[in-house]
A and B are shown apart, each in its own frame.
Chain A
Amino acid sequence: NAGVMQNPRHLVRRRGQEARLRCSPMKGHSHVYWYRQLPEEGLKFMVYLQKENIIDESGMPKERFSAEFPKEGPSILRIQQVVRGDSAAYFCASSPLGGSDYEQYFGPGTRLTVT
């Protein structure tokens, strides 16, 4: 049973470009969460999605960041016009439908570097 998959694992973008991060949840999981880990800081919640719905985006920056989880395909975290402060590790987690939302399983992360 494959775990949570994220790609790319490493992404380099110049300031002003767009970054797209992808997450495929574990088989049988329908809830997806995105977290950000800034250098020397802890993990911070960004957004919680179910298929075609954003449930909680209280941790998302108000501008430039968006997330989706379409009916088909992976969840996408999109960062427009990236700045150096966006450099971080972005982790996706998933939990099963009908299960415990707190029991979240994480992917390997995407490390974004903005030059």
Chain B
Amino acid sequence: QKEVEQDPGPLSVPEGAIVSLNCTYSNSAFQYFMWYRQYSRKGPELLMYTYSSGNKEDGRFTAQVDKSSKYISLFIRDSQPSDSATYLCAIPSGGYNKLIFGAGTRLAVHP
């Protein structure tokens, strides 16, 4: 079993839709949960991160962690074509210096 699992998609939605991106993880000791966005042929960009359980909101983006089911989510409200990218969940491990990435979900928002 992989430590972090993420459905690679692709996911195609119309502009304005609410997008839900998800990951599961296997190690209950994980405490921090990161979301990165990667545009084609670019480096990953840190979007937001959460500590332990609960929600965190930043503009149109909301990150949610459910530690009881080892499930993390990123919601995008009012999605825009500029949100079209690959979204990667990542979890710090090994003293927090080593990020374990999911496979990434490719999102396409069409006008």
Binding site for B on A (CB under 8 A): 4, 31, 33, 35, 41-45, 48, 55-56, 58-59, 91, 93, 100-109, 111
Contact = CB atoms under 8 A, between A and B. Distances in A.
Contacts, number: 64
B99 A103 contact: no
Interface of B: 6, 32, 34, 36, 41-46, 49, 88, 90, 92, 94-104
A104 B36 CA distance: 10
Nearest to A91: B43
A39 B102 CA distance: 14
Contacts of A4: 43
7 cross-chain pairs, A with B, having the tightest CB-CB distances, nearest first: A102-B92, A106-B43, A101-B97, A43-B101, A42-B103, A102-B96, A101-B96
